[in-house]
Amino acid sequence: MMSSSIKLIHPSKKINGTVQLTGSKSESNRALIIQALSKGIVNVHNVSEAADTMIMTQALNTSKATPQESTIINIGPAGTAMRFLTSYLSLIDGNFTLTGTQRMQQRPIGILVDALGSLGADIQYQKETGYPPLEIKGGMKQLSNTVSIAGNVSSQYISSLLLIAASLEKGLNLEIEGELTSRPYVSMTLNMLSEAGIQHEWIGNTISIKSQEFKESSIYVEPDWSAASYWYAIVALSNQGSIILPGLKSHSLQGDIAIIDIMAHFGVASYFQDEGLCLTKVNEGTDKQLFDFKECPDLAQTVVALAAAIRRDISITGVETLKIKETDRLAALKNEIEKFGATIIADGETYHIKTANVQVPNEISFDTYEDHRMAMAFAPLAMVFDSVVINEPEVVEKSYPAFWEHLQTQGFQISK
């Protein structure tokens, strides 16, 4: 078991090496649902080593076990698993209790449950209306093939419905109400379904998928662009930096490939080579101030921590969904950057990071709020501060379990 806190230092402040990232958690969880619905004729390769993916694998295996009066499936803190399994379990035979951690039981799921209910699913709330745990009676008898769902709350609700659409007797016409947040994640879902032989139409705000069979196929899971973002921050903060990340694609399904353009403004150049993606620190970047994370919200913490540490005032938007993640990520970011003099000022749905009062501490301790991305967003600050302490560092297991080991291979010294 890892220590409850670790200290990071990086004596040279220089980076040069190769890091093999684990498979994308987002792609892996979609691929595993597709594989399960295909009855195994779709093969999946390079599955993520992340804890969330292990939880999804275990949950799917549990759901296939001999049906009992009620099978309890506890997904812990895995938000994607909660959303995807809510739809999946409604479809397959059996009775299920789907639950998770205390924080998971505070994360809303009513929009998805209502949508599934309108299609014919039998889902009841065990405790508070609109929140897990859920009592799901599987084997849905489809009543309708059309459903409307808000596009600005969580794209995972939409992806959850799309993943089961082809397996519904009447198919699905999904109408997206209003602006769609995190569009690349919906496109990722549809592209992966296409790789497995499932066709769709997307006209205006309506996505249509007919009832159809999966085709024998293989899905290769690309390495995780979210994980790559922390290496971008490390290179940006280095005195001299260059890192190669094998396997990443220039035409990725993952929305977090947006980190290429964002980090160019912080002085990091990206080159695709035979060996992989090469990140190199080339200059101090541009003076761009406003960054929109509507289509890549998982990158916001990395960029905010980076900007605060280098005393660069920026403004961010498109981050409202961060309030319902593993923690309220906006509140957590504000708490942590205020420890060294920066702050976040809200202006409607735009947030201004102010750094005039930033001080460089000899040692600073950051809390992680049971949130993997808080740990990994603040660890790179050891490149500019003499010593950084990360509390509850084991949270990285959720998406990037080898993170601390990878840091050590690149010159970070880690002690308990």
Active site residues: 298
Distance from C-alpha of 351 to C-alpha of 348, rounded to nearest angstrom: 8
User: Which structure tokens are listed for 92?
Assistant: 């397959």
How many C-beta atoms lie closer than 10 Å to residue 65's C-beta? 9
**Strand, coil or helix: 125:** strand
**Strand, coil or helix: 111:** helix
User: Which structure tokens are listed for 413?
Assistant: 């010294």
Distance from C-alpha of 164 to C-alpha of 292, rounded to nearest angstrom: 31
**Strand, coil or helix: 160:** helix
**Strand, coil or helix: 330:** helix
Per the CB < 8 A criterion, the answer to whether 31 and 221 are in contact is yes
* CA distances to 66, 149, 151, 183, 191 from 179, in Å: 42, 11, 6, 9, 21
| Element of type H or E holding 158 | helix 155-165
How many C-beta atoms lie closer than 10 Å to residue 15's C-beta? 24
**Strand, coil or helix: 267:** coil
- DSSP of 50-102: SHHHHHHHHHHHHHTSPP-S-EEEE-TT-HHHHHHHHHHHHHSSSEEEEE--T
| Element of type H or E holding 208 | strand 206-209
Tell which residue, 273, 256, 304, has the closest CA to residue 400.
256
- DSSP of 237-253: HSSEEEEEETT--TT-S
Distance from C-alpha of 407 to C-alpha of 413, rounded to nearest angstrom: 8
Tell which residue, 218, 278, 223, has the closest CA to residue 247.
223
**N-to-C CA span, the chain:** 12
